[in-house]
Amino acid sequence: MGRSKIYRQNLKDLIKSVSTKTLYQWLVEQTRTRFGVALQEAELIAEKAEFFLIKVWETSLGTQFVFHLHSGNSSHQKNCPSHISSAPVRLTAYKNDDLDILMKLGLKAMQNSRICRLIEEAYFQNAIFSYKQLCMLSNITAKSIRQRLIPLWEKGIRLPILFTAKKYRKFYYFRSTFVLRQYFDGQPLHELQKSFFFSSSQWEQWVREFLLTTCSNSSAKCMNLLHFPDELAHEYSNLFNDIKDTATFKAFYNSFQHLIPVHGLHGLSTDEQLFLYDLEYNHRFSKAKCKMYMQMLSELKEQLSQLNRPDNSIIYFAMSDREPPGKPLSFSQMKPVILSWWTNEDLKISSLDSTESLKWQKILRFSTEAYNQGSCLNQSDLSFLLGIHPGVIQKLIKEHGNIVLPLRGNVADMGPGLSHAEKIIELFLQGYTETEILRRTGHSYASIERYLLMFSRVVALMDRKMPLPLIRQVIGCSMKLVEKYSQIYDKYNTPDYQFTLMQIRRIFDKNNNTAKKNSFPLQRRSIWDD
């Protein structure tokens, strides 16, 4: 019972840490504070706004990347990969829905949801995954993926993969259609969520799609807005014909009518007008508020378009590496960083039977890329991005103890992870050059110089007989860090290391003189500069 409570609390902390960094959460806060909307309604409006940005304005919100898949979504039935052409497909790396599923249903359900979403998005773009490609993007072995999908295949749910076994190729329904059918047959929604891995907001999106497609007088316009294939529209139409006269559907329609503007669609010629009508009719926005909200979305679109990024990358909001330890997330500066979601190197090391090397490759790449852009990821960020348990990350970090990752805890000297600074300083005192230290630890030149500079300050103040508590106040870091640096200095303050200690003191003198000249210390300057 105790372990369960601790795990639950750790999970809540992880979700809180990640949720404050999502663009969806930014939209929620802006909608709530700037437009005077209650939290739950702000969440619904933010979901619609996010959908509008992606589908109508075709804005890349940073959660999507481009990947080349096998062309033809029926290729699982025949042909050989050598005879199948490849096509670029836009896929979603992560969604805010993932956090809701993680909280309510657990990590495995979130992983399954991501697998289903990748396959469905590829199918909607007339493409199909191979097992190796799916392993590479999901960080899950082919055997595990197969075991997770078999219960869905047996129900006839359309989730094809290249070389699907013949007995599982009988696909009848998309996941959304099957869930709706089960719901109308009396299955509880929470049980369906456990079995088919979808969030409450995903459920509302499916309901909105279904109602817009089948119950609207302007269904053709609505289908253009929804951007899904004719197969799904046909399934929705068949379902509607089966249940439209039942009492269950009438109660369902009355419950979810607020999700769409089902009246007054005549005369709305554009998708933008449909969205504005939704704000005005369902959320009681005035015309002035609607105009201001559209202006906010337009500014957001412009800002996102200025972040030039490769097709294989995503955008993630991470904490600035300048933020001190202990500062609340809500008051900390978040910076958008571009992360390479996949690389050709991933394709080379990707294996059907093991994903350990692939996970470590991504952990190293994500943390280093974020740090090089002035931000720091933490273990919660990596756990969410990779879709793995934080314990797996801790295990991999221990297995690669010779490499020190520039994570938030290490850079801000939080928690037990001071070994990175200690290792870098000791290597320098033992006579290693910065380039050799970089190769051994994986840190950048800038971070190595920063650690050496901080150590040089402690050495200089200790040489002046200043007590440790006062050194902590002068330098502005944690007492634990000062004590650790003091121990290193005492250890190496011997005749054998006087030459390297002299270099350390020289670092302090040069940067102290620079600070006096510029009246602002350490401005983008190498510690070796004269």
- Residue (of 27, 127, 118) closest to 342 by Cα position: 118
Q: How confident is the model at residue 413 (pLDDT cuts 50, 70, 90)?
A: low
Helix, coil or strand: residue 83? helix
Three-state SS for 265? coil
Measured distance CA(459)–CA(487) in Å, rounded? 11
pLDDT at 140: 95
Taking residues 114-129, what's their average pLDDT? 94
Does position 75 have pLDDT exceeding 70, yes or no? no
Residues 223 and 209: their CA atoms lie apart, in Å, by 8
Range with the poorest average pLDDT among 169-183, 219-233, 234-248, 510-524: 510-524
How far separated are the first and last CA of the chain, in Å rounded?
61
User: Which residues, including other chains, have CB under 8 Å from residue 472's CB and lie 6 or more apart?
Assistant: 478, 479, 482
pLDDT tops 80 at residue 85: no
Mean of the pLDDT values across residues 166-181?
90
- Report the C-alpha gap between 111 and 98 in whole angstroms: 9
Confidence bin at 177 (pLDDT 50/70/90): very high
486-529 pLDDT, tens per residue? 899 899 989 888 898 899 888 888 877 655 555 433 333 333 34
Res. 318: pLDDT tops 70? yes
pLDDT in tens, 261-311: 544 444 555 678 878 888 888 888 999 999 999 999 998 888 887 777 899
User: Which is it for the CA torsion 388, 391, 395, 396, positive or negative?
Assistant: positive
Q: Please give the pLDDT value at position 326.
A: 65
**Using CA atoms, how far apart are residues 449 and 485, in angstroms rounded to an integer?**
15
- Asked whether residue 182 carries a pLDDT value surpassing 90, the answer given is yes
Contacts with 78 (C-beta within 8 Å, 6 or more apart), sequence order: none
For residue 15, which of 133, 97, 136 has the smallest C-alpha distance?
Answer: 97
Q: In what order do the strands lie in the sheet with 334-340?
A: 334-340, 313-320, 375-376
117 pLDDT higher than 70: yes
φ, ψ of residue 318 in degrees (nearest 5): -125, 160
CA 222, distance to chain mean position in Å, is 30
Alpha carbons 119 and 41: distance in angstroms, whole number: 31
Residues β-bridged to residue 376:
319
Please say if the pLDDT value at position 342 is more than 80: yes
Check residue 17 and give its pLDDT: 83
Q: What are phi and psi of 92, to 5 degrees?
A: -100, 125
pLDDT digits (tens, 9 = 90+) for 458-475: 999 999 889 888 988 888
